[in-house]
């Protein structure tokens, strides 16, 4: 029996030119979005001095993203996904250039920032959904673990460096140059993406858009595996809300300040990068669903353990572990959702899967923020983690189909017809 490698497999970049084009475009895009992500809140705060208005812009981006995911899911199962990817990227790039133009004006408009935040979220949602639905076709379902790990490595690497780069640009030249570079960079991703082949979905069935979206919900409800994956993914997303407690934990729990908060924010991405880089073994798992359940439950326990630590070093170690476990769980989510969903539903299922990310993170932040008002930070994080761990254990017991799922690369991976797996 061939032993699975530990490190992520980079051979897909060498052997698959279409995936290589996506990888290059994604790398550029991650840095473009990263330097923009820093610029928008900074400029709004400079213009208004209001934290509330900064939050409003972020909320509008989330609203636009949610709407784009819903529309993009339906469109990606009807139209050429390549065209939708190009539309999403081109529209975002033009929006960023509009922000640069607005910034160079004598009196920049705050309304323009709100409008483009919504525009950006909407077209990002369309582009993301179409791209995700295209990956199984481009790389083949047998290569999904490697493709997911490489994509995750790109995102994690960019998430660490691009905000730092954005801050340097703002300090040296001003936020207008962030917008200009983000716009040019995003439009530059069209060059490699135009090399993609036509990506028309299979077995297209045209129905009313709302009915079409409802079919995606029905698939999640009926398919015991994919529905369970999305439910477990929602719990994993809720766990990411722990970051709202970093300032309180650093000050009241560990006796630190801004420097310690920065270390805590860096610890999770560091663990996630380690997870993505050493994830070569994931593709050879015999029980990927059971491993995903175990990772999410262990992530919850890592958060709960933060309440037992009064020394920063132990807290940072727990957060690195949280990042590592989260990256493995996310990679398994990607592999199972993409691998177990029929092609004609990939757009809608990916839109719903990504939408739970947007909603789950917001709900987790609100819930944990409310809990922190009633309890001391160490108690709040301990109870939050313990509750999530209890939910994870219940999922381990309740999602038997996911727990028993054998390793494979398609809707028939359980060793039974796709119709049976879907409960039909």
281-339 pLDDT, tens digit each: 887 888 999 999 999 999 999 999 988 877 888 888 999 999 999 999 999 998 898 88
For 104-143, write each residue's pLDDT tens digit. Answer: 888 888 898 889 889 998 999 999 999 989 999 899 888 8
Q: Would you state the pLDDT for residue 4?
A: 58
171's CB contacts (< 8 A; 6+ apart) are none
User: Is-above-0.85 flag for pTM?
Assistant: no
Q: What is the largest CA-CA distance in the chain?
A: 68
For every residue of 259-295, DSSP letters joined together read: HHHHHHHHHHHHHHHHHHHT-GGGGG-S-HHHHHHHH
Q: Cβ distance 285 to 291 under 8 Å?
A: yes
Q: Would you state the pLDDT for residue 417?
A: 35
Q: Would you state the pLDDT for residue 423?
A: 36
Q: How many helices (H) and strands (E) does the chain have?
A: 18, 0
Average pLDDT, consecutive stretches of 10 residues, N- to C-terminus, the chain (424 residues): 65 91 91 83 80 73 87 90 94 93 88 90 92 90 85 78 80 87 94 92 77 87 90 88 78 75 80 86 87 94 87 89 92 89 87 81 74 80 90 93 76 39 34
């Amino acid at each position: 029996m061939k032993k699975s490698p530990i490190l992520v497999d980079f051979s897909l970049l060498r052997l698959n030119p279409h995936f290589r084009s996506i990888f290059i475009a994604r790398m550029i895009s991650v840095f473009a979005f990263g330097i923009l992500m820093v610029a928008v809140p900074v400029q709004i705060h400079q213009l208004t001095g209001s934290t509330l208005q900064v939050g409003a812009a972020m909320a509008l981006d989330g609203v636009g993203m949610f709407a784009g995911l819903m529309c993009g899911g339906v469109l990606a199962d009807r139209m050429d996904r390549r065209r939708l990817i190009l539309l999403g990227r081109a529209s975002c790039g033009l929006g960023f250039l509009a922000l640069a133009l607005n910034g160079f004006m004598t009196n920049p408009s705050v309304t323009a920032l709100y409008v483009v935040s919504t525009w950006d979220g909407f077209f990002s949602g369309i582009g993301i959904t179409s791209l995700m639905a295209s990956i199984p076709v481009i790389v083949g379902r047998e290569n999904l673990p490697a493709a997911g790990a490489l994509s995750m490595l790109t995102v994690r690497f960019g998430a660490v460096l691009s905000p730092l780069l954005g801050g340097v640009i703002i300090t040296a030249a001003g936020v207008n140059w962030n917008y200009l570079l983000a716009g040019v960079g995003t439009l530059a991703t069209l060059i490699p993406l135009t090399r993609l082949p036509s990506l028309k979905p299979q077995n297209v069935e045209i129905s009313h858009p709302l009915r079409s979206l409802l079919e995606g919900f029905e698939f999640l409800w009926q398919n015991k595996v994919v529905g369970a994956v999305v439910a477990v993914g929602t719990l994993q997303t809720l766990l990411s809300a722990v970051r709202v407690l970093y300032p309180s934990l650093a000050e009241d729990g560990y006796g630190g300040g801004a420097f310690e908060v920065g270390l805590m924010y860096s610890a999770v991405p560091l663990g996630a990068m380690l997870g993505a880089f050493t994830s070569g073994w994931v593709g050879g798992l015999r029980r990927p669903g059971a491993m995903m359940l175990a990772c999410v439950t262990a992530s919850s326990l890592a958060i709960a353990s933060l309440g037992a630590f009064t020394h920063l070093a132990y807290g940072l170690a727990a957060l690195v572990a949280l990042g590592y476990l989260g990256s493995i769980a996310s990679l398994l989510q990607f592999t199972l959702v993409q691998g177990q969903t029929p092609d004609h539903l990939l757009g809608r299922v990916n839109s719903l899967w990504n939408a739970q990310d947007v909603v789950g993170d917001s709900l987790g932040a609100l819930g944990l923020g409310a809990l922190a008002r009633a309890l001391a930070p160490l108690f709040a994080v301990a109870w939050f983690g313990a509750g999530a761990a209890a939910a994870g254990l219940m999922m381990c017991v309740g999602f038997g189909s996911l727990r028993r799922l054998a390793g494979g690369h398609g809707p028939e991976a359980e060793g039974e017809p796709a119709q049976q797996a879907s409960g039909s």
